[in-house]
Structure 1
Amino acid sequence: MPTRILPAGADPDAVRSLVTLLSQLPDAEPQPPVTESTQLVDSLARLAAESVDELPEVLVVHERIGPAPALELIREIALRFPAVGVILVTADASPGLFAAAMDSGARGLVALPLTYDELAGRVQAVAQWSTEVRRHLGQGGEAPGGPGGTVVTVSGAKGGVGATLTAVQLALAAQASGRSTALVDLDLQCGDVASYLDIQFRRSVADLAAISDISPRVLADALFRHDTGLALLLAPGEGERGEEVTDRAARQVVRALRSRHEVVVIDCGAQLGAAGAAAIETADTALLVTTPDVIAVRAAKRTVRMWDRLQIRKAEETTVVVNRQSRHTEIQPALVQRITGTALARTSVPANFKELQAVVDAGRVHELDARSTVKQALWALAGELGLVRAAEGAHRGGARGGTRGGVRGGARAVGLRRRKD
């Protein structure tokens, strides 16, 4: 079967030379070249909407492509279209650039000036990898069509505002509606997802940190399958192991989960680390949970400003969820929105801890009574965010509360670089 290869670059002479060499490769089927990044992503999205099988096996990106920088473009393609193998063509073949390209999701690098042997060898290897990925995606019935599943991160403005409970219930709602769902605990030092669901586990997200290419089998070995059907990827039992999960590892984990599940819900906790920052940056929707009190709302405002300074996520791309809301509180959701400058979830979660106390103490929050006003609100929030199937969601809303953060490169380490004025 011919290998479909899509060349992309803004330099006409360079692209012409590339196409000439590609056309000489055995069993190669070069596609008409694409000259800029926006056109490239749109073209891939149209093909993915029909079927993953319509996507080219190999994408060859010349370093001189715009308007998006080549590495940012590669990162977005790797996240949205994980079955496409990307090769970067560059004049800089240094180890530093090679590492950066691999971190961004490229499957290979070819140095300029182009040679037939180097290009042929790299294309063949990447094509084989792409074919194998598609073969795995076609097994097991868990892989969604199109560019991958929906990723939602849940963060707390501060500790104790209910972020973990929110993440767990959103994931349960999605799974109950018939969507294959993964729940990830990226609160790496203090994660409580396992405690909330009363499970004993052996593998954690830290076990994936050192793996450069997470295959479906490796991912399956690390996941804990809960009685509800949820696939759980848990925080390490030893908090110090959280340091092993870098931003690069987090991106790879999210990418692997997105390719295998329709919904991925990530509990990022209240403390920002490199892994959580990477997840928030690449998520389709980033939720920030707060309670309607002065301390929590001030913390939410600080968090939103920090995310913006670190180029992780803009305020308008963040959705605030107000938990423990009561009509008697002085601070109402509209005021929270004005203070933080974020989007606001239409669904607020009522203050009714008595409903929760028994299941929280027993570590059985998945058994929360369906008549619970808290559960009803959180499952309604899942509908508002589009996480449940329309036919199943009794409380379904319209557009998502947030938008894809895109790739802004802001999650290299805790306390990372600040935006340049």
Structure 2
Amino acid sequence: MKHYKIIAMTAMENEQRVQYVLNNPQFNYIATVSPDENGVKKIINTAIDALVVMTDNLTGDHCALLEQIYMAKKNIVMILITNVCDLQMLTEAMDCGIGKVLTTDMDKKEIQENIVAEIVKNQSRGSESEEKGYDSKILSVFGTKGGTGKTTVAVNMAVALQKKGKKVLLIDLDLQFGDVGVFMDVPVHDTISDLIAENDFSLATIKNYIYKHSSGVRLLLAPQSPEFAELVKSSHINEIVTAVKEFYDYIIFDLGPTLDECALQALEMSDTVYFIVTPEISTLKNTKTCMKVMTTLELAGKVKFILNKDGDSYVKKKDVESTLDNEIAFVIPSEPKNTIASINRGVPIVISYPKSKVSKEIVKYVNGDEI
């Protein structure tokens, strides 16, 4: 009979309960640990097949600990046993890396069979799945002028992808005047320049500088002051993305309006570059000039154009396509009242105004097959 090594994580008042559930000759039940940093260290430093979590309330702190375990030990399966199994609990569990949710109304034998089945399924994936991790895609959102709605698009695409069930990291690379934190109402938090100053690009360290937004999107924020932008080099972008890439479905760069060394590094790493244009002659002129540079750098093949604020002028989609000699991937209508209100509130429009035209177009595109 094969034995599976298991650690349980729960509050101490549930210890006897979880010991009863895991009393099975197939289980090598190593320990019960508390949901704290000491418990996390025990789990990370012990060779186990599964972590069984018993709780009815996945708090923010609890989720942070579980995510830390998940990112450090992707070869184990994490199973939640809970009395509460609503949509919010399932979403939070999935977000933390929990692979299976079981309920306390199941009988002991059924719970044990599910645990064994989940371990076997996880192990059958073998080392190949461990190496692959997430099939990550890297996207850049770029525009040659401020005010085109670049950050609005980046933020709302990230949230829409997260709502779709993807795990998303949004990196604000508008290093001098990045507004992702403002658009998402993020309190004061460490930034990419703080990470650079620590000069440690291990996964565990980078995670300390990533902010988890209420939508589930993870954020790596731009420096709090423009003078710190010069601390960030292209090599740092490469090291950060290399460390975290396998843990996200999508990494999205919100770029500034200039082609500096960090922007070029991000564009090089990207699978797709979403170039934001608006129906204005000056924007189109700058876009054409920039595309000549991107063609020289062999980046033009990655570009997909998004026409934002459609309806703001007499310049129509067909005019934009004719001027740029490129098709528009999708069009976002002009809806200034709802868009400005969502920015001022710090709540992405796909959350604050889900029935708005802007939200519907972004969600429609994200839910398609092209992104």
Q: TM-score range by the shorter chain?
A: 0.5 to 0.7
Q: Which residues in structure 2 correspond to 1:21-420 (within 5 Å)?
A: 136-138=73-75, 141=97, 145=132, 148-209=135-196, 214-309=201-296, 311=297, 313-314=299-300, 316-326=301-311, 329-345=313-329, 347-365=330-348, 367-383=351-367, 396=368, 398-400=369-371
**Contact 1:164-1:269 within 8 A present in 2 as well:** no
- SS of residue paired to 2:189: coil
What's the offset of the Cα at 1:159? 0.7
Which structure is larger by alpha-carbon Rg, 1 or 2?
Answer: 2
Return the TM-score normalized by structure 1: 0.55
**Contact 2:332-2:361 within 8 A present in 1 as well:** yes
- Alpha-carbon distance in structure 2 between the residues aligned to 1:206 and 1:163: 22
- Alpha-carbon distance in structure 1 between the residues aligned to 2:319 and 2:244: 36
**Contact 1:320-1:337 within 8 A present in 2 as well:** no
CA-atom RMSD, angstroms?
2.5
What's the offset of the Cα at 1:382? 1.8
**Contact 1:144-1:260 within 8 A present in 2 as well:** no
**Contact 1:318-1:343 within 8 A present in 2 as well:** no
Deviations for 1:82-102, whole angstroms, at most 9, x for unmatched residues? xxxxxxxxxxxxxxxxxxxxx
Q: Which residues in structure 2 correspond to 1:13-28 (within 5 Å)?
A: none
What's the offset of the Cα at 1:305? 1.5
**Contact 2:133-2:247 within 8 A present in 1 as well:** no
Deviations for 1:336-389, whole angstroms, at most 9, x for unmatched residues? 2333344520x2000111122222112222542111111111222323xxxxxx
What's the offset of the Cα at 1:212? 6.4
**Contact 1:281-1:312 within 8 A present in 2 as well:** no
After superposition, the Cα gap between the structure-2 partners of 1:144 and 1:199, relative to the gap in structure 1 and judged at 3 Å, is: farther
**Contact 2:333-2:358 within 8 A present in 1 as well:** yes
- Alpha-carbon distance in structure 2 between the residues aligned to 1:137 and 1:187: 32
- SS of residue paired to 2:363: helix
User: Runs of 5+ in structure 2 lacking a partner?
Assistant: 1-69, 77-95, 99-129
- SS of residue paired to 1:324: strand
After superposition, the Cα gap between the structure-2 partners of 1:298 and 1:242, relative to the gap in structure 1 and judged at 3 Å, is: same
- Count of residues paired in the alignment: 251
- Alpha-carbon distance in structure 2 between the residues aligned to 1:348 and 1:163: 13
The AA in structure 2 aligned to 1:227 is S
Structure with greater proportional strand content: 2
- Alpha-carbon distance in structure 2 between the residues aligned to 1:195 and 1:213: 27
Task: Percent identity, please.
Answer: 24
What's the offset of the Cα at 1:307? 2.1
Deviations for 1:131-183, whole angstroms, at most 9, x for unmatched residues? xx996444663999457411110011311000000000000001111111111
The AA in structure 2 aligned to 1:255 is T
- SS of residue paired to 1:209: helix
**Contact 2:134-2:248 within 8 A present in 1 as well:** no
User: Runs of 5+ in structure 1 lacking a partner?
Assistant: 1-132, 384-395, 401-421
Q: Where does residue 73 of structure 1 map in the other structure?
A: none
What's the offset of the Cα at 1:229? 0.9
- SS of residue paired to 1:214: coil
**Contact 1:149-1:262 within 8 A present in 2 as well:** yes
Return the TM-score normalized by structure 2: 0.62
